[in-house]
Amino acid sequence: MRVTFHGVRGSVATPGPATIRYGGNTVCVEVRTVDGSLIVLDLGTGVRELGKQLIRAPLPDPIHIFVTHAHWDHIIGAPFFAPLWRRDAHVVLHALSQRAHQRLSKNVLFDGEHFPVRAQDIPAHVERPPFVGSSVRIGSATVKQIQLNHPGGADGFRIDDADGSSVCYLTDNELAPPGPCTTSSDDLARFAASAGLIIHDSQYLPTDMPHKHGWGHSLVADVLALGQKAEARALALHHHDPDRDDDALDRIAADSAAWAREHAPGMKTLAAAEGTTLEIAP
Protein backbone atom coordinates (compact mmCIF):
# COMPACT_ATOMS: atom_id res chain seq x y z
CA MET A 1 0.00 0.00 0.00
CA ARG A 2 1.15 3.54 -0.68
CA VAL A 3 0.14 6.53 1.47
CA THR A 4 0.58 10.19 0.47
CA PHE A 5 -0.15 13.17 2.70
CA HIS A 6 -1.80 16.09 0.87
CA GLY A 7 -2.88 17.98 4.00
CA VAL A 8 -1.68 17.53 7.58
CA ARG A 9 -2.98 20.63 9.37
CA GLY A 10 -5.82 20.58 11.86
CA SER A 11 -8.61 23.08 12.44
CA VAL A 12 -7.77 25.72 9.82
CA ALA A 13 -5.44 26.12 6.84
CA THR A 14 -2.21 27.90 7.71
CA PRO A 15 -0.42 29.17 4.59
CA GLY A 16 2.71 31.26 4.98
CA PRO A 17 6.47 31.06 5.43
CA ALA A 18 6.30 29.57 8.96
CA THR A 19 4.55 26.38 7.75
CA ILE A 20 6.15 25.90 4.36
CA ARG A 21 8.03 22.66 5.16
CA TYR A 22 5.22 20.67 6.80
CA GLY A 23 2.46 22.41 4.86
CA GLY A 24 -0.58 24.48 5.73
CA ASN A 25 -3.36 22.54 4.03
CA THR A 26 -5.98 20.88 6.21
CA VAL A 27 -6.20 17.12 6.35
CA CYS A 28 -6.32 14.87 3.29
CA VAL A 29 -4.55 11.53 2.81
CA GLU A 30 -4.35 9.45 -0.37
CA VAL A 31 -4.11 5.66 -0.11
CA ARG A 32 -3.33 3.41 -3.09
CA THR A 33 -4.02 -0.25 -2.50
CA VAL A 34 -1.94 -3.01 -4.08
CA ASP A 35 -4.50 -3.43 -6.90
CA GLY A 36 -4.31 0.32 -7.64
CA SER A 37 -7.64 1.35 -6.05
CA LEU A 38 -7.72 4.94 -4.78
CA ILE A 39 -9.00 5.72 -1.30
CA VAL A 40 -9.17 9.37 -0.21
CA LEU A 41 -9.31 10.03 3.54
CA ASP A 42 -10.86 13.42 4.39
CA LEU A 43 -11.49 16.38 2.12
CA GLY A 44 -9.56 19.23 3.76
CA THR A 45 -7.93 21.88 1.58
CA GLY A 46 -5.20 19.35 0.70
CA VAL A 47 -7.65 17.50 -1.57
CA ARG A 48 -7.37 20.34 -4.09
CA GLU A 49 -3.77 19.39 -4.92
CA LEU A 50 -4.71 15.69 -5.13
CA GLY A 51 -7.53 16.54 -7.55
CA LYS A 52 -5.17 18.50 -9.79
CA GLN A 53 -2.83 15.50 -9.94
CA LEU A 54 -5.66 13.07 -10.68
CA ILE A 55 -7.05 14.92 -13.69
CA ARG A 56 -3.65 14.82 -15.43
CA ALA A 57 -4.11 11.06 -16.01
CA PRO A 58 -7.03 8.73 -16.68
CA LEU A 59 -9.21 9.01 -13.58
CA PRO A 60 -9.39 6.06 -11.18
CA ASP A 61 -12.85 4.54 -11.49
CA PRO A 62 -14.29 4.96 -9.00
CA ILE A 63 -12.65 7.38 -6.56
CA HIS A 64 -13.46 6.11 -3.05
CA ILE A 65 -13.87 8.79 -0.37
CA PHE A 66 -14.12 8.32 3.40
CA VAL A 67 -14.68 11.39 5.59
CA THR A 68 -14.07 11.10 9.34
CA HIS A 69 -16.60 13.81 10.27
CA ALA A 70 -18.04 17.04 8.95
CA HIS A 71 -15.99 19.67 10.78
CA TRP A 72 -14.88 22.31 8.28
CA ASP A 73 -11.22 21.34 8.23
CA HIS A 74 -12.20 17.87 6.95
CA ILE A 75 -14.64 18.90 4.18
CA ILE A 76 -13.81 22.45 3.10
CA GLY A 77 -11.68 21.30 0.13
CA ALA A 78 -14.51 19.27 -1.45
CA PRO A 79 -15.78 22.00 -3.84
CA PHE A 80 -12.23 22.39 -5.17
CA PHE A 81 -11.65 18.68 -5.89
CA ALA A 82 -11.28 18.86 -9.68
CA PRO A 83 -12.79 15.43 -10.54
CA LEU A 84 -16.16 16.64 -9.18
CA TRP A 85 -16.38 18.98 -12.18
CA ARG A 86 -15.84 16.24 -14.75
CA ARG A 87 -18.78 14.32 -16.23
CA ASP A 88 -16.61 11.21 -16.66
CA ALA A 89 -15.72 11.04 -12.95
CA HIS A 90 -17.33 8.51 -10.62
CA VAL A 91 -16.96 9.34 -6.94
CA VAL A 92 -18.22 7.09 -4.14
CA LEU A 93 -18.85 8.73 -0.75
CA HIS A 94 -18.74 5.91 1.78
CA ALA A 95 -20.43 5.99 5.18
CA LEU A 96 -19.48 3.26 7.63
CA SER A 97 -21.65 4.56 10.48
CA GLN A 98 -25.28 5.68 10.72
CA ARG A 99 -24.10 9.11 11.81
CA ALA A 100 -21.85 9.48 8.75
CA HIS A 101 -24.71 8.39 6.52
CA GLN A 102 -27.03 11.03 7.98
CA ARG A 103 -24.34 13.71 7.65
CA LEU A 104 -23.74 12.95 3.97
CA SER A 105 -27.45 13.25 3.19
CA LYS A 106 -27.51 16.82 4.55
CA ASN A 107 -25.35 18.27 1.74
CA VAL A 108 -24.29 21.19 3.94
CA LEU A 109 -21.59 22.46 1.58
CA PHE A 110 -23.51 22.09 -1.68
CA ASP A 111 -26.77 23.69 -0.56
CA GLY A 112 -26.58 26.75 -2.84
CA GLU A 113 -25.77 28.97 0.14
CA HIS A 114 -22.33 27.87 1.34
CA PHE A 115 -21.19 27.23 -2.25
CA PRO A 116 -22.97 28.39 -5.42
CA VAL A 117 -23.44 24.92 -6.92
CA ARG A 118 -26.03 22.54 -5.45
CA ALA A 119 -25.29 18.84 -4.97
CA GLN A 120 -27.66 17.79 -7.76
CA ASP A 121 -25.82 20.05 -10.25
CA ILE A 122 -22.34 18.57 -9.71
CA PRO A 123 -21.26 17.12 -13.10
CA ALA A 124 -19.52 14.01 -11.70
CA HIS A 125 -21.48 10.87 -10.88
CA VAL A 126 -21.48 11.02 -7.07
CA GLU A 127 -22.67 7.82 -5.50
CA ARG A 128 -23.69 7.44 -1.86
CA PRO A 129 -24.15 3.74 -1.15
CA PRO A 130 -26.72 2.87 1.52
CA PHE A 131 -25.33 2.24 4.99
CA VAL A 132 -24.85 -1.50 5.40
CA GLY A 133 -22.34 -1.79 8.22
CA SER A 134 -18.98 -0.80 9.63
CA SER A 135 -16.77 -2.40 6.98
CA VAL A 136 -16.56 -2.41 3.21
CA ARG A 137 -14.45 -4.09 0.55
CA ILE A 138 -12.52 -1.70 -1.72
CA GLY A 139 -10.60 -3.52 -4.48
CA SER A 140 -7.91 -5.60 -2.82
CA ALA A 141 -8.51 -4.02 0.61
CA THR A 142 -11.04 -3.98 3.44
CA VAL A 143 -11.89 -0.74 5.25
CA LYS A 144 -13.23 -0.95 8.82
CA GLN A 145 -14.63 1.81 11.00
CA ILE A 146 -14.27 2.63 14.71
CA GLN A 147 -15.87 5.47 16.69
CA LEU A 148 -13.51 8.12 18.00
CA ASN A 149 -13.63 10.48 21.01
CA HIS A 150 -14.51 13.81 19.44
CA PRO A 151 -17.25 16.41 20.02
CA GLY A 152 -20.09 15.49 17.65
CA GLY A 153 -18.45 12.13 16.89
CA ALA A 154 -15.91 11.03 14.29
CA ASP A 155 -15.09 7.78 12.50
CA GLY A 156 -11.62 6.26 12.42
CA PHE A 157 -10.64 3.76 9.73
CA ARG A 158 -8.38 0.77 9.33
CA ILE A 159 -7.41 -0.40 5.84
CA ASP A 160 -6.10 -3.95 5.45
CA ASP A 161 -4.77 -4.86 2.03
CA ALA A 162 -4.48 -8.26 0.38
CA ASP A 163 -0.69 -8.37 0.78
CA GLY A 164 -0.99 -8.00 4.57
CA SER A 165 -0.14 -4.28 4.70
CA SER A 166 -2.32 -2.08 6.91
CA VAL A 167 -2.94 1.58 7.71
CA CYS A 168 -5.03 3.13 10.50
CA TYR A 169 -6.37 6.66 10.15
CA LEU A 170 -7.46 7.98 13.55
CA THR A 171 -8.46 11.63 13.54
CA ASP A 172 -9.96 13.63 15.16
CA ASN A 173 -9.55 11.79 18.46
CA GLU A 174 -8.87 12.64 22.10
CA LEU A 175 -7.22 9.61 23.69
CA ALA A 176 -7.80 10.84 27.25
CA PRO A 177 -10.98 12.90 27.21
CA PRO A 178 -12.60 14.30 30.32
CA GLY A 179 -15.59 12.15 31.21
CA PRO A 180 -16.49 8.83 29.62
CA CYS A 181 -14.67 7.56 26.52
CA THR A 182 -16.57 6.56 23.39
CA THR A 183 -13.69 4.19 22.64
CA SER A 184 -10.92 3.48 25.15
CA SER A 185 -7.21 3.57 24.32
CA ASP A 186 -7.10 -0.20 24.86
CA ASP A 187 -9.88 -0.73 22.29
CA LEU A 188 -8.15 1.60 19.85
CA ALA A 189 -4.86 -0.24 20.35
CA ARG A 190 -6.63 -3.52 19.57
CA PHE A 191 -8.22 -1.96 16.47
CA ALA A 192 -4.80 -0.70 15.33
CA ALA A 193 -2.86 -3.81 16.43
CA SER A 194 0.33 -4.44 14.43
CA ALA A 195 -0.58 -1.79 11.85
CA GLY A 196 2.10 -0.96 9.32
CA LEU A 197 1.24 2.70 9.88
CA ILE A 198 -0.97 4.59 12.33
CA ILE A 199 -1.87 8.14 11.37
CA HIS A 200 -3.19 9.91 14.48
CA ASP A 201 -4.40 13.34 15.55
CA SER A 202 -1.49 14.77 17.58
CA GLN A 203 -2.55 18.36 17.93
CA TYR A 204 -1.56 19.14 21.50
CA LEU A 205 1.35 19.46 23.91
CA PRO A 206 1.14 19.71 27.72
CA THR A 207 1.39 23.51 27.38
CA ASP A 208 -2.05 23.49 25.67
CA MET A 209 -3.56 21.97 28.79
CA PRO A 210 -5.77 22.22 30.76
CA HIS A 211 -7.43 24.86 28.57
CA LYS A 212 -7.96 22.54 25.57
CA HIS A 213 -8.81 19.37 27.49
CA GLY A 214 -12.11 18.16 26.01
CA TRP A 215 -11.64 19.81 22.62
CA GLY A 216 -11.34 16.39 20.99
CA HIS A 217 -7.63 16.18 20.13
CA SER A 218 -4.73 14.24 21.60
CA LEU A 219 -1.46 14.98 23.31
CA VAL A 220 1.58 13.79 21.36
CA ALA A 221 2.68 11.71 24.38
CA ASP A 222 -0.66 9.85 24.46
CA VAL A 223 -0.37 9.12 20.73
CA LEU A 224 3.11 7.67 21.16
CA ALA A 225 1.80 5.46 23.97
CA LEU A 226 -1.02 4.24 21.71
CA GLY A 227 1.47 3.36 18.95
CA GLN A 228 3.57 1.46 21.48
CA LYS A 229 0.53 -0.40 22.85
CA ALA A 230 -0.65 -1.30 19.33
CA GLU A 231 2.88 -2.39 18.36
CA ALA A 232 2.62 -0.34 15.19
CA ARG A 233 5.61 -0.37 12.85
CA ALA A 234 5.24 3.32 12.04
CA LEU A 235 3.37 6.23 13.59
CA ALA A 236 2.63 9.49 11.78
CA LEU A 237 1.74 12.49 13.94
CA HIS A 238 -1.03 14.27 12.04
CA HIS A 239 -3.62 17.09 12.31
CA HIS A 240 -0.98 19.54 13.54
CA ASP A 241 -2.06 22.54 15.56
CA PRO A 242 -2.45 25.66 13.39
CA ASP A 243 -0.17 27.56 15.80
CA ARG A 244 2.68 25.02 15.44
CA ASP A 245 5.30 26.36 13.03
CA ASP A 246 7.88 24.21 11.20
CA ASP A 247 10.52 24.58 13.90
CA ALA A 248 8.04 23.51 16.60
CA LEU A 249 7.10 20.44 14.51
CA ASP A 250 10.81 19.62 14.04
CA ARG A 251 11.15 19.57 17.83
CA ILE A 252 8.07 17.37 18.23
CA ALA A 253 9.41 14.98 15.56
CA ALA A 254 12.85 14.79 17.20
CA ASP A 255 11.44 14.31 20.73
CA SER A 256 9.06 11.61 19.47
CA ALA A 257 11.83 9.74 17.66
CA ALA A 258 13.98 9.86 20.82
CA TRP A 259 11.07 8.53 22.91
CA ALA A 260 10.44 5.71 20.43
CA ARG A 261 14.11 4.68 20.34
CA GLU A 262 13.92 4.14 24.09
CA HIS A 263 10.36 2.84 24.60
CA ALA A 264 9.22 1.37 21.26
CA PRO A 265 12.32 0.53 19.21
CA GLY A 266 10.29 -1.31 16.56
CA MET A 267 8.23 1.79 15.76
CA LYS A 268 9.33 4.51 13.38
CA THR A 269 7.81 7.93 14.09
CA LEU A 270 7.37 10.99 11.91
CA ALA A 271 5.54 14.29 11.90
CA ALA A 272 3.40 14.07 8.76
CA ALA A 273 4.36 16.58 6.08
CA GLU A 274 2.52 17.53 2.90
CA GLY A 275 3.85 15.70 -0.15
CA THR A 276 5.40 12.82 1.83
CA THR A 277 4.73 9.36 0.39
CA LEU A 278 5.21 6.22 2.47
CA GLU A 279 5.36 2.67 1.11
CA ILE A 280 3.69 0.37 3.65
CA ALA A 281 5.28 -3.07 3.66
CA PRO A 282 3.24 -6.19 4.53
Residues that bind Zn ion (CB under 5 A): 10, 71, 73, 172
Name every residue whose Cβ is closer than 8 Å to that of residue 19 and which is 6 or more positions away in sequence. Answer: 9, 245, 246
Residue nearest to Zn ion (CB): 71
As measured in angstroms, the least distance from the Cβ of 124 to Zn ion is: 25
Per DSSP, helices labelled H in the chain are 47-54, 72-75, 98-106, 185-191, 220-230, 246-263
Comparing CB distances to Zn ion, the nearer of 202 and 256 is 202
Name every residue whose Cβ is closer than 8 Å to that of residue 159 and which is 6 or more positions away in sequence. Answer: 1, 31, 33, 39, 138, 141, 142, 143, 166, 167, 168, 169
Comparing CB distances to Zn ion, the nearer of 10 and 83 is 10
As measured in angstroms, the least distance from the Cβ of 215 to Zn ion is: 9
* C-beta of residue 252 within 8 angstroms of C-beta of residue 211: no
Comparing CB distances to Zn ion, the nearer of 49 and 241 is 241
The residue among 177, 198, 191 whose CA lies nearest residue 264 is 198
As measured in angstroms, the least distance from the Cβ of 258 to Zn ion is: 27
As measured in angstroms, the least distance from the Cβ of 199 to Zn ion is: 13
Comparing CB distances to Zn ion, the nearer of 25 and 33 is 25
Comparing CB distances to Zn ion, the nearer of 15 and 123 is 15
The residue among 74, 211, 209 whose CA lies nearest residue 221 is 209
d(CA 191, CA 96): 15
Comparing CB distances to Zn ion, the nearer of 47 and 59 is 47
As measured in angstroms, the least distance from the Cβ of 72 to Zn ion is: 8
The residue among 8, 62, 61, 66 whose CA lies nearest residue 40 is 66
d(CA 204, CA 221): 9
Comparing CB distances to Zn ion, the nearer of 10 and 62 is 10
Between 220-230 and 246-263, two packed helices, what is the crossing angle to 10 degrees? 40
Burial of 207 (C-beta count, 10 Å sphere; 0-12/13-18/19+)? exposed
